[in-house]
Chain A
């Protein structure tokens, strides 16, 4: 509409009425497509097809789909998850199901007995990974999830969800190393705090013992004076 706005067109449009050889554009087009066809045989960068089952694309660290649970050393005991149920509560489609593990006295063992994710319901939003305070749940890069079992095959239990910290490191090195550094710092802090607490307890104990000893001594002294008094 406005005359000052112009659009850059790719080829120069010939002025109407000037004689150009008819079919020139057609020949140019044929040259382009012919070049495409011939160069596809020797220029490897032209062919973008990845023949999937034999060849695989390198997936980006930012690629994410379903959640997995991270464990440190051993799949059975090293799970970071404490079954706090924050992810279960936050999950928008409610696809996470957690049962807390308890000992025979009913005391919490701070680990999940059951941790199920129904990936047929999961919408890959990543909120569970976002809210987890224990660096336990992350989004996975696994994409070969097809199954012939509609119900069991799409319900991932602990056995399929638990993946090692090394796997996380391999999948997304940047994020994983940051998490590792943070966890290490936290652990050191915790250890320091524990040490301080232990030292304090020891000091307290000593002080208490000292006080007790002093009290005893005073008592003895008093008793001695009383005895002296009686004898005198």
Chain B
């Protein structure tokens, strides 16, 4: 073993999340490890940082969600474990770990075991291509967006795996609902992202963020959300992302009033916790993609705030989006399956398709006043027509309640 004096690489607040990677690489170089080992070690440390950050964010979110929902319902929420209930996730984790793991007799045990593991993997993979800061891009993939969507689609596979392998009716029904919902909402999700690709001209997520870097008039950020097509696409993306993450009001796959807990019915203990984890990591991934595509990723919202480390902006925007999810969960009741499908196919997908010509016109007319004049009517008029149609003909007939109304 040769001890060489390797100087520790300098880092700033901006590249603070790189610290574990730098540390591992420096230690490996210090003990004279070969280059390939240094490279692997650095990458593993990088991946470990991302996983660690998002798992702690998951633990925090599970508490914040309960506290927020409690406040919306004028309750206090968990406040017994630790200061303001800060140790509640730890208590939950211990509870989940010590619970009995039940595998039903009719279950196919291998698939039953594999499903909760496989549901966590795609979410972590998807988070890997996210530009979390200017210098904090775990994997700067050229086809990052494509990778994100193709990996994200794996979630459906593991959901169906769980439903099928449980050997029970409720998981099966729940999985079928989940598949129909996720496939339906993946279309508007991907179509609304196409406009961003057209305007940016790249599938690399860090390019998309860099493209949104400038300011109009020196103070309005040039985020995609502040364009006509971007606003429409962002709204569609937002709604579809709620459905894609199986969140209320689109949480039909686990509608406990009808099908117990959907595909998670036959799971207990740590496997259930893994489903929970996969769901929340998927939520982070999809909200993070929304931030990247429409809210300028790690860009500062105002020009004079550029000195703040960029990864703080990314996580601040992510927190805002997640809090809005919680707010929506605390407000709306669950939709019916036919309402869900009608909304996706008759409202979201046509509007999402319209954002593609709108984005094309936006680029073609030079992103100026003319572009606004052209694209706003292009989106607004079909929207008004669609809503009138939706109100009149597509909405289900008014129900008459024989006993309640008499």
Contacts and interface: CB of A to CB of B under 8 A. Distances in A.
Interface of A: 1-2, 5, 7, 16-22, 26, 29-30, 32-34, 36-37, 40-41, 46-49, 51
Contacts, number: 56
B184 interface: no
A19 B386 CA distance: 11
B327 A51 contact: no
Given A19-B391, A29-B332, A36 B398 contact: no
B149 interface: no
Contacts of B384: 19
Interface residues of B, number: 23
Contact of B330 (A20, A26, A33): A33
A40 B76 CA distance: 9
9 contacts: A22-B391, A26-B331, A26-B332, A33-B327, A34-B72, A37-B71, A37-B72, A41-B71, A46-B74
B100 interface: no
A21 B387 CA distance: 8
B392 A36 contact: no
B76 A16 contact: no
B390 interface: yes
B365 interface: no
Nearest to B324: A30
- The A contact surface, by secondary structure, is loop
A51 B80 CA distance: 10
Nearest to A27: B331
B338 interface: no
Nearest to A33: B331
B75 A49 contact: yes
A36 to B, nearest CB: 5
A48 B76 CA distance: 9
B74 A30 contact: no
Contacts of A48: 74
A1 B404 CA distance: 10
A18 B332 CA distance: 24
A36 B72 contact: yes
A37 B391 contact: no
B331 A47 contact: no
A17 B71 contact: no
Contacts of A40: 71, 74
B196 to A, nearest CB: 23
Nearest to A17: B392
A196 B74 CA distance: 68
Given A16-B398, A37-B68, A51 B73 contact: no
Of all A-B residue pairs in the complex, the 9 with the closest CB atoms, nearest first, are A1-B406, A33-B331, A37-B71, A37-B72, A22-B387, A33-B72, A40-B71, A29-B331, A46-B74
B74 A47 contact: yes
Given A34-B72, A47-B74, 6 more contacts: A7-B405, A18-B391, A19-B384, A20-B391, A30-B327, A48-B74
Interface of B: 68, 71-76, 327-328, 330-332, 384, 387-388, 390-392, 398, 402, 404-406
A30 B405 contact: no
A26 B405 CA distance: 25
A16 B331 contact: no
A181 B106 CA distance: 73
B72 A22 contact: no
B248 to A, nearest CB: 12
B406 A34 contact: no
Nearest to A38: B71
A17 B398 CA distance: 13
A2 B398 contact: no
Contacts of B71: 36-37, 40-41
B388 A19 contact: yes
Contacts of B332: 26, 29
Contacts of B388: 19
B391 A36 contact: no
B330 A47 contact: no
Nearest to A45: B74
A17 B390 CA distance: 10
B392 A51 contact: no
Of A19, A32, A46, the most chain B CB neighbours within 10 A belong to A19
B188 to A, nearest CB: 16
Contacts of A30: 327-328, 331
A40 B331 CA distance: 15
Nearest to A1: B406
A190 B396 CA distance: 82
Nearest to B388: A19
A16 B72 contact: no
B73 A36 contact: yes
A18 to B, nearest CB: 8
Of B74, B327, B391, the most chain A CB neighbours within 10 A belong to B74
Contacts of B75: 47, 49
A7 B406 CA distance: 9
Contacts of B387: 19, 21-22
A229 to B, nearest CB: 113
